[in-house]
Amino acid sequence: MNYTLAPRFPDAHQFEITCRVDLPDPAGQRFSLPVWIPGSYMIREFARHIVDIRAETASGKPVRLEKINKATWQAAPCRQPLILTYRVYAWDLSVRAAHFDRQHAFFNASSVFLYAHGKENQPCRVTLLPPEHADNWRVATSLPVDGATPFGFGHYLAASYAELLDHPVEMGRFTHLEFEAHGAPHHLIVTGCPDFDAGRVCHDLARICAVQMDLFGEPRLDAPYYFLLTAVDSGYGGLEHKNASALLCHRADLPAVGAKTGAQPDSGYVRLLGLASHEYFHRWNVKRIRPAAFVAPDWQSETYTRLLWFFEGVTSYYDDLCLRRAGLIDEATYLELLAKTLSQVQKTPGRHVQSLADSSFDAWIKYYRPDENTPNAVVSYYTKGALTALCLDLALRREGHALDEVMRALWREAAKTGGKAIEETEIFTRVTTLGGKALGRWLQNVVEGTDGQHPLPLARHLAHFGVKLDWQAENDRPWIGAQLKHEGGKTRISHVLTASPAERAGLAAGDILIALQGHEITPQNLDTLLARLAVGQGVECHYFRHGLLAATTLTPIAPPADTARLSALPGAKARIARQTWLAEDANDREAPSPGL
């Protein structure tokens, strides 16, 4: 398979691509574009961005090309090499698809390269051409070089189409920084922010990478790794690849040159480091240790697994924990981040409705496609998965083990075989072997049940490791159970929570609140009006629904204690217990006290 991509039409945001098949299927070659991208579990219909497409032989003779479904084309039989030429509209500034303008170009192969049916396992040679409109552009990609100068335009090679999908590409005038972690080369590519504290970012990323390499142990991954970071005025996201990650952050999250060193990083920078930590952890957990269903996925339809709670949830547990182990945040900051996750899950009624296993399986239609009822019907396999991993880790530690051991064992098996495929119930079996039957049953119950059936014993486990968990109200205002947003000077309900005063009053998502107790509601006075309500006392509420005025009686209740507060317990025993869990360096941990 031979592909050529030319960034030819920047003002129309279009790539021109050719795909050449030297030995097409004699019965007529079929081509398709994936409808989803690994790591983002939603049907995204990338083929909708193909603007035009045509086929011809190597000698220039036109070949009939028929579109047979939303993402597939059928070429008429031909005996010569077959060439497809097409243009792709690239204006999705995210980590999932493709974006192109006069400043830069970025793409994932799943958005731009059609695959030829029956030839998915053949090597793919990619030729990247320079733009006509700009000078001094370079290329950053983890694709192996095949005749091109590193970071230059020319030829690159992937062993198969599946391998090709695992190498995002950035082109433009970016900042290129290099650092090492345990001797392995790492590259940081930053687009959209030429002025930031590069030394600090490289130092901190190197610490994160080294901590995770230590966690997984031998054999070490020594292939070059690429962080492809695009900084924008507003945005956040990441997508893992085998030897790279695509990252999107707010420009202000990058530390400024001359910022004070030695102090705790601000929340934006901590968020960016956590994002990089999360995607780097996927280098092992998803890209090499992976669900069995992902070994040979169907690029034309959903690929289901009930294990996203493990692959995303465990990764979410470790992303901030690795920042603490790397010494980039202090203990108090880590506990604040953990408390935020606890609060997010506690405020979601969907935790009583959906299990982690079902959340994983239904990610395609629920988690990645949220609507006004999502908080009531869905639990996040990221956040509740992270809390499940936390409980599992602390329970294992009480038995003299740790979740680290599970991850290292999986990695050793993956390294021996070129990848470890995890079956749907395998994690339960491994936990049973390590921590006993009771712990294995507990984990399976938590994953396959709901919070109402099997609540997480968070307070008990945290207390054993020197951390006190308290639940308190987010504020002292009477609670109505509606999430509100201001738009165009109006106050609109975005979500009504299950069994809340707002639901009992008949309010619904989309309603525009206009008055409480006869007082006009504005974005400026809403908090004041809500604070003046009395618990248990009904008030008249006027609102518009679909342009029609309506009224109801709204009776607020006391605010729920759904906001977590974590604090370090005093005393040497509690401090030593926390160290066994949160120590910066595993080699420096003090022995746990037998009294805890």
Question: 261 vs 124, which has greater pLDDT?
Answer: 124
Mean pLDDT of 452-460: 96
- Of 427, 381, 388, whose CA–CA distance to 407 is shortest? 427
Widest pairwise Cα distance in the chain: 82
Q: Percent of the chain beyond pLDDT 90? A: 93
Residue 561 has pLDDT above 50, yes or no: yes
Of the pLDDT bands very low, low, confident and very high (cuts 50, 70, 90), residue 586 is very low
First to last CA, the chain: 61
Could you give the 3-state DSSP secondary structure of residue 185? Answer: strand
Pairing of strands 138-141, 169-172: antiparallel
d(CA 527, CA 532): 9
Q: Is the distance from CB of 324 to CB of 582 less than 8 angstroms? A: yes
Of the pLDDT bands very low, low, confident and very high (cuts 50, 70, 90), residue 134 is confident
Residue 587 has pLDDT above 90, yes or no: no
Q: Quick one: pLDDT at residue 332?
A: 96
Write out pLDDT tens, residues 494-527.
Answer: 999 999 999 999 999 999 999 999 999 998 999 9
Could you give the 3-state DSSP secondary structure of residue 585? Answer: coil
Question: Is the overall model pTM greater than 0.85, yes or no?
Answer: yes
Residue 260 has pLDDT above 80, yes or no: no
Mean pLDDT of 295-307: 96
Tokens of 493: 């309900």
Burial level of 69, CB count in 10 A (0-12/13-18/19+)? exposed
d(CA 570, CA 368): 42
d(CA 521, CA 210): 53
Q: Quick one: pLDDT at residue 588?
A: 42
Write out pLDDT tens, residues 460-496.
Answer: 999 999 999 999 999 999 999 999 999 888 999 999 9
Residue 63 has pLDDT above 70, yes or no: yes
Of the pLDDT bands very low, low, confident and very high (cuts 50, 70, 90), residue 589 is very low
Burial level of 446, CB count in 10 A (0-12/13-18/19+)? buried
Could you give the 3-state DSSP secondary structure of residue 275? Answer: helix
Pairing of strands 30-32, 72-75: antiparallel
Could you give the 3-state DSSP secondary structure of residue 152? Answer: coil
Residue 529 has pLDDT above 80, yes or no: yes
Q: Quick one: pLDDT at residue 116?
A: 98
Number of alpha carbons in the 13 Å side-chain half-sphere of residue 282: 28
Q: Is the distance from CB of 181 to CB of 213 less than 8 angstroms? A: yes
Q: Quick one: pLDDT at residue 149?
A: 87
Pairing of strands 72-75, 65-69: antiparallel
Dihedral (CA of 270, 228, 239, 277) sign: negative
SS in 3 state form for 478-510?
CECCEEEEEECCEEEEEEECCCCHHHHCCCCCC
Per-state percent for the chain, helix, strand, coil, to nearest 5 = 30, 30, 40
- Of 139, 131, 129, whose CA–CA distance to 170 is shortest? 139
Write out pLDDT tens, residues 216-252.
Answer: 999 999 999 999 999 999 899 999 999 999 999 999 9
SS in 3 state form for 198-213?
HHHHHHHHHHHHHHHH
Residue 263 has pLDDT above 70, yes or no: no
Residue 585 has pLDDT above 90, yes or no: no
Q: Is the distance from CB of 30 to CB of 53 less than 8 angstroms? A: no
d(CA 321, CA 590): 18
d(CA 25, CA 50): 23
d(CA 407, CA 290): 12
Could you give the 3-state DSSP secondary structure of residue 81? Answer: coil
The answer for 437, left when phi > 0, alpha when psi is -120 to 50, beta otherwise, is alpha
Domains of the chain, earliest start first = 2-172 (2.60.40.3650), 178-341+382-461 (1.10.390.10), 482-554 (2.30.42.10)
Q: Quick one: pLDDT at residue 261?
A: 61
